[in-house]
């Protein structure tokens, strides 16, 4: 099984000078040749010690352009930040939606109302990105 990292949906560009800030976001991808097309919507609430993210929905479609069935094992919802050496350090939230289904070309699925949170330690909230990972065969 390989993890298909669908991209970083949102960088939390907020400085927390007050108790909490809220940002609404949309997930979309610009490249039409990817194996799965992904769209979604949600909001992130950022405080001094915590990031809370509520995904209203995530919809992924097996791209009919490839004419290939794909088995999706799970979808994970995490956070990441860029390290000084240029690598992503993914902070696992433990939030996964188990799917275990084979999708025919053009077939889609919507996942509704997923919540995640991350305790902030030494990094600013603006350092983190939201990450959606779709594990495929």
Q: CB of 51 within 8 A of CB of 125?
A: yes
Measured distance CA(32)–CA(117) in Å, rounded: 30
pLDDT of residue 108: 95
Question: Tokens in use for 112?
Answer: 């509704």
pLDDT in tens, the chain (137 residues): 455 444 444 444 333 334 468 888 888 776 778 888 888 999 988 888 888 999 999 999 999 998 999 999 999 999 988 889 999 888 888 899 999 999 999 999 999 999 999 988 778 877 888 888 888 87
Confidence at residue 31, expressed as pLDDT on a 0 to 100 scale: 73
Domain-wise residue ranges, the chain: 2-136
C-alpha of 117 from chain center: 12
């Amino acid at each position: 099984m390989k993890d298909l990292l669908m991209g970083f949906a949102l960088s939390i560009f907020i400085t927390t000078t007050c108790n909490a800030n809220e940002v609404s976001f949309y997930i979309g991808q610009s490249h039409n040749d990817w194996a799965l097309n992904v769209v979604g919507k949600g909001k992130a609430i950022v405080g001094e010690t915590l990031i809370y993210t509520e995904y209203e929905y995530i919809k992924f479609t097996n791209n009919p352009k490839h004419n290939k069935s794909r088995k999706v094992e799970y979808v994970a919802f995490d956070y990441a930040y860029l390290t000084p050496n240029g690598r992503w350090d993914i902070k696992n939230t433990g939030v996964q939606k188990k799917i275990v289904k084979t999708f025919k070309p053009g077939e889609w699925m919507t996942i509704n109302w997923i919540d995640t949170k991350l305790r902030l330690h030494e990094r600013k909230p603006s350092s983190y990105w939201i990450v959606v990972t779709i594990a495929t065969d």
